Chains A and B, each alone.
Chain A
């Protein structure tokens, strides 16, 4: 089981990294989302893996899953939604403003380059 979770984190990271290195905004956003999953799962896994013992107190239960990473990841999920939304908005604004969705500065012609320096 540990092998599965660890390799899932690895796959998500690798996919996320590859997409983050792409040249257009949309794949980069996808990549950031994959990295977010990887990080959240990793944080969650820092409480180690427990099956069938949610941290909801019961008289019949002796041990529970670690609640602390769960609480931290819960807020992280919601915040990462906020951040994704901001990044998407920026990407959209940039695209609508310049009709170009490259993430890298594009080589400009001479007249524009003058104004930039």
Chain B
């Protein structure tokens, strides 16, 4: 299967669990399992190629200019991790089906899980480091969702936030490191970067890049001092902990260190930083784990410790260390996932994870006991289990590692860590399963159904098989190691076997196990000592830092952002004017190239009316109805100006829009106060006047200079004029631009218009379902109502006019391609025609006769326009390519048929729908507020009033 499918399957599959949610829990889990299984099988189909030592590549250029390409690569290392992610993922899905309760939203859970799975697979298969970074961030985000899955638990939310903060910041650092790396090499492809070890290590920016990348790896893999987030992430449901925090996500940092091993390792900086961090993490994690009473916390710190171990092995920079690391990743994934699942089973059945409240489960939960014990013994490093083998290799490597010039430091600390590691494993077995059966468990523990214990037992079988017959795993681990090492070193010859002879590692191992047993024997005094010792609590420190950062941000933002819109507007206006002034005073103005045209008396009269109306509006704006009239005059003058300056289409649009805007504002003024009180101080008005005059002068200067000069480069308008008829089949160039040349823009604009109308509708719905509804019902009109709200004259007139208006709209629409007109204007005209019916006979009368809801009209318009555009795909042309032809049907004259006209139908419908939906929403508010509307077209109807009682309604709707 192509690598693209393997990565894409979980992402696309993530849509399915949500859809299947209604079909039941088994169906949801089943579909998730199927998706994962398909990806898993797809991965396995590539096994022969990988086993042959080849690298599978898949490449699509995405943004070649930025060096960001969708390049995937599958080699031994990638295959190993992908196998872990998908394989353990399958077990986790099966386990999760039985773990989650009925109250949990399973579709949501599996959607998150598949998103995470896809992101993880993406990381390990990426060949491009920028692509890798994208997947890296995706794992942080999806793990945030998974950790916080139980939204009702504050621990879950806090843990999720902490994990996201820490790994997110690490991710930011890593972006910096990766960009530096890409700059050094000149390519963002991993396969190229991995070839340039000498170039990278010689570069002065090597150390910053190394530190930044390691920051990303350490935060993700919970290395000291960033280890604190992992235990808090344990608030997640156990399947998540088992999957993310033992087998996969925390290994992402380790994966990246392994991936970058050929180019980054081997230098002193690498050895010192990585080995030290790993060693400290290993020891601290193991020590803390021993004293944790929560089973999952114990396992979490043990995971931290083991991740430290693997990091340390990678840090030594030797081929043997890398091999041991790879082997331990495999072993850790098997026994730790099994342990997490066992902890989940205990939690699920006994309703507690507190070790102090458990004990004696050996007799009550025999199956769980066997699974958990084998896995824990493997973790402790007992022979014939896989943990023993890799731990031996680790100790062997430790004896050869010197840090800070002290030869005994690393072996001693490694033994110390192993000792504690053995101790907490023994504690887990001893304190949970052995001891007397108690009578005070929160719930009666018993073994779970097979769905819960089968997945971990499969892993435990692996633990034993690898432990007894390590030669089975050897070729695979060596294959993976080979791809980690690249060309830098050869795969070590050492064989995987249980008995190496009396080597130092064996003595260290024996010392650790015996020491672990001794420590468990003196556990209670040790615990008292530990509890008495002061320790920093990472969560408190973290919360304090977050709190102080939030406080600092508030201290900056709140004074600036004080909710005073008029202040923002003033600052914005002044800033823009200042920027313009700066440009004006530093730039140069070219000489005027155009003659000023003479202005006739008509133009001057129009100008004077516009100026007078604007000035009047400013001075009389407190009388709101008057200001509406004045702004109508302004709009009218602007429309006439458009006619005067050769823009008939614009004039028609402006004029019709003016009508609907005024109706809209009148509807709003029905509720708003009719006057504006005097509130601002004189000083403030002077200030605002100054800002306004400055702004006005600025735009005047700009427009004036602009109008007297020609464009610096030739405008593209000539092209439109020349091709309008030839290419678009229409002589009205403006309309051809709208529906043809720039049809895609228009398409976007009708969608925006539709969204605006839907927004208004949604706001109305919200208002009418909230407290405003009651307020509207109780509202008394603040002005006297007309006695005859639906006067007969108006009803009759609008009915008579309606067909005429529709005809005019139709005519305007049809002629639009060749004469001024078109979909926009026709839509507005028809809307006005319909609005008149509302005005004459009232909302309920009109809406009772409404056949098509306006949402549908908007949708139909967008759909018609979109389908017209798609139609051109069928003839192999790009979206919205238009075509036209001339036909002649006797007895008519020859006329034109253009696909652009179909597109214009879409525009027309969208405009009608949007305008009507907005106005209708406003009147719905009014409908709530007043006395019930009648169902009759007019209030006083002589024919109805003369008719006998009860027969009047028969006339309704005539």
List the interface of chain A (C-beta within 8 A of B): 1-30, 33-34, 37-38, 40-42, 44-58, 64-68, 70-71, 73-75, 77-86, 88-93, 95-97, 101, 103-105
A interface: dominant SS: helix
Interface contacts beyond A47-B715, A68-B716, A95-B672: sample of 13 additional A-B pairs, CB < 8 Å, sorted by A: A5-B641, A6-B701, A9-B703, A12-B634, A13-B700, A24-B676, A44-B650, A67-B720, A67-B737, A70-B650, A73-B650, A75-B824, A101-B672
List chain B residues, Cβ under 8 A from A25: 672
Query: Do the beta carbons of A56 and B631 come within 8 Å of each other?
Result: no
| A75 touches which of B661, B700, B738 (Cβ 8 Å) | B738
| A104 touches which of B567, B708, B738 (Cβ 8 Å) | B567
Query: Do the beta carbons of B760 and A17 come within 8 Å of each other?
Result: no
The stretch from B388-396, B515-523, B538-546, B767-775 touching chain A is: B767-775
List chain A residues, Cβ under 8 A from B618: 15, 18-19
Known: A14-B696, A68-B715, A92-B671. A56 touches B820 (CB 8 A): yes
Known: A4-B604, A104-B564. A38 touches B597 (CB 8 A): no
Known: A17-B692, A25-B672, A34-B614. A70 touches B649 (CB 8 A): yes
List chain A residues, Cβ under 8 A from B566: 20-23, 28, 103-104
List chain B residues, Cβ under 8 A from A82: 752-753, 756-757, 914, 918
Q: Does B472 contact A (CB under 8 A)?
A: no
State in angstroms the CA–CA spacing of A40 and B631 once bound together.
Answer: 15
List chain B residues, Cβ under 8 A from A64: 646, 721, 733
| B597 touches which of A13, A14, A51, A58 (Cβ 8 Å) | A51
Known: A19-B618, A71-B742. A54 touches B647 (CB 8 A): yes
Q: Does B679 contact A (CB under 8 A)?
A: yes
State in angstroms the CA–CA spacing of A105 and B749 once bound together.
Answer: 33
**Closest CB in chain B relative to A4 CB, distance in Å:** 5
In chain B between 333 and 390, which residues have their CB closer than 8 angstroms to a CB of chain A? none
List chain A residues, Cβ under 8 A from B631: 30, 33-34
State in angstroms the CA–CA spacing of A3 and B745 once bound together.
Answer: 32
Query: Do the beta carbons of B734 and A33 come within 8 Å of each other?
Result: no
Query: Do the beta carbons of A8 and B610 come within 8 Å of each other?
Result: yes
Query: Do the beta carbons of A9 and B700 come within 8 Å of each other?
Result: yes
Query: Do the beta carbons of A74 and B703 come within 8 Å of each other?
Result: no
Q: How many A-B residue pairs have CB under 8 A?
A: 312
State in angstroms the CA–CA spacing of A91 and B676 once bound together.
Answer: 14
List chain A residues, Cβ under 8 A from B725: 57
In chain B between 642 and 690, which residues have their CB closer than 8 angstroms to a CB of chain A? 642, 644-650, 653-654, 657, 660-661, 664-665, 668-669, 671-673, 676-677, 679-680, 688-689
Known: A13-B696, A89-B922. A77 touches B671 (CB 8 A): no
Query: Do the beta carbons of A10 and B703 come within 8 Å of each other?
Result: yes
List chain A residues, Cβ under 8 A from B706: 45-46
Query: Do the beta carbons of B704 and A3 come within 8 Å of each other?
Result: yes
Query: Do the beta carbons of A89 and B645 come within 8 Å of each other?
Result: no
Query: Do the beta carbons of B819 and A97 come within 8 Å of each other?
Result: no
Kindly supply a per-residue 1/0 record for chain B positions 598-612, scoring 1 wherever the CB is within 8 Å of any chain A CB and 0 otherwise.
Answer: 110001100100110
| A77 touches which of B657, B717, B759, B922 (Cβ 8 Å) | B657
State in angstroms the CA–CA spacing of A70 and B324 once bound together.
Answer: 72
**Closest CB in chain B relative to A112 CB, distance in Å:** 13
Query: Do the beta carbons of B617 and A30 come within 8 Å of each other?
Result: yes
Known: A3-B596, A4-B607, A21-B688. A54 touches B644 (CB 8 A): no
Q: Does B841 contact A (CB under 8 A)?
A: no
List chain B residues, Cβ under 8 A from A57: 721, 724-725, 731-733
Query: Do the beta carbons of A74 and B824 come within 8 Å of each other?
Result: yes
**Closest CB in chain B relative to A16 CB, distance in Å:** 8
Query: Do the beta carbons of B764 and A88 come within 8 Å of each other?
Result: no
Q: Does B615 contact A (CB under 8 A)?
A: yes
| B753 touches which of A24, A78, A90, A96 (Cβ 8 Å) | A78
List chain A residues, Cβ under 8 A from B627: 26-27, 30
Query: Do the beta carbons of A6 and B700 come within 8 Å of each other?
Result: yes
B interface: dominant SS: helix
Query: Do the beta carbons of B776 and A67 come within 8 Å of each other?
Result: no
State in angstroms the CA–CA spacing of A18 and B596 once bound together.
Answer: 30
State in angstroms the CA–CA spacing of A79 and B746 once bound together.
Answer: 11
List chain A residues, Cβ under 8 A from B679: 23-24
**Closest CB in chain A relative to B427 CB, distance in Å:** 47
- List 15 contacting pairs A-B, 8 Å CB cutoff, sorted by A: A2-B594, A9-B699, A11-B700, A12-B634, A18-B688, A24-B679, A26-B627, A44-B645, A50-B646, A55-B721, A68-B720, A74-B824, A89-B921, A93-B766, A105-B562
Kindly supply a per-residue 1/0 record for chain B positions 537-579, scoring 1 wherever the CB is within 8 Å of any chain A CB and 0 otherwise.
Answer: 0000000000000000000000000111111011001000000
Minimum CB distance partner of A53 in chain B: B646
Query: Do the beta carbons of B641 and A55 come within 8 Å of each other?
Result: no
Q: Does B911 contact A (CB under 8 A)?
A: yes
List chain B residues, Cβ under 8 A from A84: 661, 664
Q: Does B68 contact A (CB under 8 A)?
A: no
**Closest CB in chain A relative to B470 CB, distance in Å:** 63
Minimum CB distance partner of B911 in chain A: A78
Query: Do the beta carbons of A65 and B638 come within 8 Å of each other?
Result: no
List chain B residues, Cβ under 8 A from A54: 646-648, 820
Q: Does B527 contact A (CB under 8 A)?
A: no
List chain A residues, Cβ under 8 A from B676: 22, 24, 26-27
Known: A6-B700, A92-B668, A92-B925. A27 touches B614 (CB 8 A): no
State in angstroms the CA–CA spacing of A92 and B923 once bound together.
Answer: 12
State in angstroms the CA–CA spacing of A24 and B672 once bound together.
Answer: 10
List chain B residues, Cβ under 8 A from A80: 657
Query: Do the beta carbons of A91 and B672 come within 8 Å of each other?
Result: yes
List chain A residues, Cβ under 8 A from B607: 4, 7-8
Known: A53-B646, A78-B753. A103 touches B565 (CB 8 A): yes
**Closest CB in chain B relative to A66 CB, distance in Å:** 5
**Closest CB in chain A relative to B824 CB, distance in Å:** 6
Query: Do the beta carbons of A4 and B599 come within 8 Å of each other?
Result: yes
Q: Does B808 contact A (CB under 8 A)?
A: no
Minimum CB distance partner of B705 in chain A: A6
Q: Does B192 contact A (CB under 8 A)?
A: no
List chain B residues, Cβ under 8 A from A24: 676-677, 679
Minimum CB distance partner of A27 in chain B: B621
List chain A residues, Cβ under 8 A from B458: none
List chain B residues, Cβ under 8 A from A75: 738, 745-746, 749, 824
List chain A residues, Cβ under 8 A from B918: 82, 85, 89
Query: Do the beta carbons of A45 and B647 come within 8 Å of each other?
Result: no
List chain B residues, Cβ under 8 A from A66: 715, 717
| A7 touches which of B693, B695, B700, B776 (Cβ 8 Å) | B700
